[in-house]
Amino acid sequence: MTIDATNSGAMSLDPPAVELEVQRATTWGPLPTDEQFGLWVRTALRGRAPAELAIRIVDREESRRLNRQYRGKDAPTNVLSFPAELPKDIGLNLLGDLLICAPQVAEEALAQRKPEQAHWAHLTIHGVLHLLGYDHHQAAEAEAMERIEIALLASLGIPNPYA
């Protein structure tokens, strides 16, 4: 389903227009609504140009297969980011795709004793930041990315996920 995620949820700093496609390829549930995903994506994109991306919610097998194929890790993971690689002269702000493993999110939230919706929000924002070029391979990059995530989540009333 494609939604125009411009008007759901109150935010400051003029959230950008977002063309968001949410695909649910899992029987796991309950899952966040398209509106929740829209709010989290707009939060991550605050202060940026309008953008387009897709989020695909999957089970462990698809997550594992793609994690193995693209990262060489033979295990499911919570979120995979696939940035779009378009020529700069194409007039689109296509960010790319996120793949989020629903059972992995639920399992991690339970293990970390945090609300599942808060973990969904965190992983969505985390994935969008990856699409924007942020990374956490080096300690300094990880600290910078975590600071941004903490601030964005706090703007939604969600506590620090790293505390």
Q: Which amino acid is at 2?
A: T
Distance from the first to the final alpha carbon of the chain: 35
Average pLDDT over residues 51-77: 97
What pLDDT score does 98 carry? 98
Tens digits of residue pLDDT in 149-158: 999 999 999 9
The arithmetic mean of pLDDT across residues 22-30, rounded, is: 94
Question: Which residue shows structure tokens 């509106």?
Answer: 35
Query: Over the chain, what is the mean pLDDT?
Result: 89
Q: Give ∠ CA 38-108-102 in degrees, rounded to 5.
A: 50
N residues, the chain: 163
Task: For residue 44, give the amino acid letter.
Answer: A
Q: 58 pLDDT exceeds 60?
A: yes
Percent of the chain whose pLDDT exceeds 70: 90
Q: pTM of the prediction?
A: 0.88
pLDDT of residue 14: 59
**What pLDDT sits at residue 15?**
63
What does the alpha-carbon distance between residue 126 and residue 103 come to, in Å, rounded to a whole number?
Answer: 17
Catalogue all structural domains in the chain, each as residue range(s) with its CATH number: 2-155 (3.40.390.30)
The rounded distance, in Å, linking the Cα atoms of 69 and 113 is: 31
116 or 18, which is more confident? 116
pLDDT: which is higher, 117 or 13: 117
Q: How confident is the model at residue 1 (pLDDT cuts 50, 70, 90)?
A: very low
Helix (H, G, I), strand (E, B) or coil at 20: strand
pLDDT, residue 103, reads: 98
Cα torsion through 102, 47, 136, 133, rounded to 10: 90
Burial class (CB in 10 A: 0-12, 13-18, 19+), 143: exposed
pLDDT at 110 over 50: yes
Cα(7)–Cα(4) distance, rounded to whole angstroms? 8
